[in-house]
Structure 1
Amino acid sequence: MTPRLPVIYVSHGSPTFAVDPGQAGPLLQAVGRRLPQAVKAILVVSPHWMTAGGMLTTGAEQPETVHDFGGFPDALYQLQYPAPGHPQWAQAVAERLAQAGFKTGVHPQRGLDHGAWVPLRYLAPEARVPVLQVSMPHPITAELAVRMGRALAALRDEGVLIVASGSLTHNLYEFRRVGDEAAEYVKEFSAWARAAVQAHDLESLAHYRERAPHALRAHPTDEHYWPLVIAMAASDDTDPVEVIDGGISHGVLSMEGYVLGHLAPHEEEAVA
């Protein structure tokens, strides 16, 4: 019997996180070393792929590494994450979402955007495990995010590791220099989110605009927030919560993440 895999929520930060691990990188590496051997595929949800009219899953045998950003150092554009894809799993994911009432399909050429491959460089650095990416619906609402997470939840029992990649806070209008002091509102929003996750309070997380402190300032647009709700909806109240205390990058990007479910003991090696 395949053991139930955890759901992992990660804050992927700036694209420079790929080469500047900061506080969060080593913590994600430590999580990666504890991934159960039962992982057959990794399914990533990223706000950098949103589709109108239906949801798509990457179906390429060898998805390309998409450098979907501009104005960064040349070294970032040379990075590759050569994990294989898995067309059969892509079809299975699409069917699972269709059963939940979503219009779905498989995209045969779509690669992995930086919301996927940047954190996976730490979680699964050897890129051996097949990786799929599923788009978020556009526009997305709290109700759709919860439905999506619940539709994907059963994959945890089939050997699929769900990685929801976003940013716990994401106000690029206030982006600061590396090393600048963290904004107080970021600390307060992050503390609220952590408490809600630890309490398995999906209701509050789904309605964060009304309930969280500084919600609009923390997320002027909320596409980077919804992966957290998707992750929480794919978990349940019996899942232990492990905090990935990644600190705050550039003064305004909370790099906090969460493991929802069981990892292998610390001494066990990674599958990645």
Structure 2
Amino acid sequence: MSRLPTLFVSHGSPMLALQDSPARRFLAGLGAALPRPRAVLAVSAHWETIGAPALGYATRPATIHDFGGFPPALYRIDYPAPGAPEVAGRAAALLQAAGLAAGRDPGRGLDHGAWVPLRLMYPDADVPVTQLSILHRGDPSAHLRIGRALAALREEGVLVLASGSLTHNLHAYRGQGVDAPVPDWVAGFGDWMAARLAANDQAALLDYRRAAPHAVQNHPTDEHLLPLFVALGAAGPDARATRLHASVEHGVLAMDAYAFQ
């Protein structure tokens, strides 16, 4: 079985599930461009736990519509992928072997950070999926450590799919169109991240809130960037980053995607 890359994708607005855009078209072609995984471990910005990461053990995870104020068609979407409780158990064992606690959630479904990109990547919903939470108020180094503990999954046919958003300041969204102009503070942050990831400058990346231009403006809270550090860690200390996609929606949501190998 070939070694899989780990991925970070930006899921942007839930409307990505319905609304055409360059990022949607990219994700719709991404699954076919990758070796087919036997399962997916999704790490979403929309599941946070306190103290330790948790894993979902549902055999038929529900589709969670964890948002409000969108068109009815969005709430009718179901993504009936089978669960992967055995992968959850394997991930928990790897975390515990690295000295990290791991919680267990037998009923956890798939939030939109997971099912929106997965529905585009694997529209037949035939790849088993489990979710791993991020840490509420955890820092980048804690998430890098979680990822490093999970590195063996790449050799076992499990795709580590981290889903967040390269920029995520919803306070700056004022109803602008999906193709609105991109302000310098968004573009500058995206360029810095691309350069530091290409150089595998993990010291700078871990300190991004101080080192990157406009970091706090792009991430008033950083839960949407933390999944990236799990994907980076799971690719190993010598990870090579490839920027698979770059676009911006509504002027403020950078939709970059990266593969780490």
Answer yes or no: same fold by TM over 0.5.
Answer: yes
Q: Which amino acid is the alignment partner of residue 88 of structure 1?
A: E
* Cross-structure match for 2:121: 123
| Conserved 8 A contact 1:28-1:244 | no
Between the two proteins, what is the percent identity of the paired residues? 47
Q: 1:56 to 1:236 in 2, by over 3 A?
A: closer
d(CA) in 2 for partners of 1:84, 1:122: 16
Please name the residue that 1:5 is paired with: 4
- Count how many residue pairs are aligned between Structure 1 and Structure 2: 259
The offset of 1:210, in angstroms, is 1.4
Letter in 1 for 2:220: P
Per the alignment, residue 270 of structure 1 pairs with none
Q: 1:44-59 alignment to 2 at 5 Å?
A: 44-59=42-57
- The gaps in structure 1 that reach 5 residues or longer are 262-272
Q: What's the offset of the Cα at 1:239?
A: 4.8
Query: Structure 1's 99 and 125: CA in aligned 2 closer, same or farther, altered over 3 A?
Result: same
2:216 maps to amino acid: L
Instruction: Sort the Cα spacing of 1:94 and 1:237 in 2 relative to 1 into closer, same or farther, 3 A.
Output: closer
| Residue 111 of structure 2 is aligned to residue 113 of structure 1 | yes
Determine the structure 2 residue equivalent to 1:64: 62
* Residue pair 2:52, 2:135 contacting (<8 A) in 1 also: yes
Letter aligned with residue 166 of structure 1: G
Q: Does 1:166 align with 2:159?
A: no
Range 176-185 or range 240-249, more displaced: 240-249
CA distance in 1, matches of 2:54, 2:246: 30
Offset at 1:238?
A: 5.4
User: Which residue identity does 2:256 align to in structure 1?
Assistant: E
Matches within 5 A, 1:143-154: 143-154=141-152
TM-score by length of 2: 0.95
Say if 1:5 and 1:160, in contact at 8 Å, map to a contact too: yes
RMSD of aligned Cα (Å):
1.4
Question: What is the alpha-carbon distance in structure 2 between the residues aligned to residue 238 and residue 51 of structure 1?
Answer: 29
Counterpart amino acid of residue 151 in structure 2: A
Q: Distance in 2 between matches of 1:180 and 1:3?
A: 40
> Is 1:156 aligned to residue 164 of structure 2?
no
Secondary structure (helix, strand or coil) at the match of 1:31 reads: helix
Aligned structure 1 segments of 4 or more residues deviating by more than 3 angstroms: 236-241
Correspondences of 1:78-227 after superposition (within 5 Å)? 78-176=76-174, 177-178=176-177, 179-227=179-227
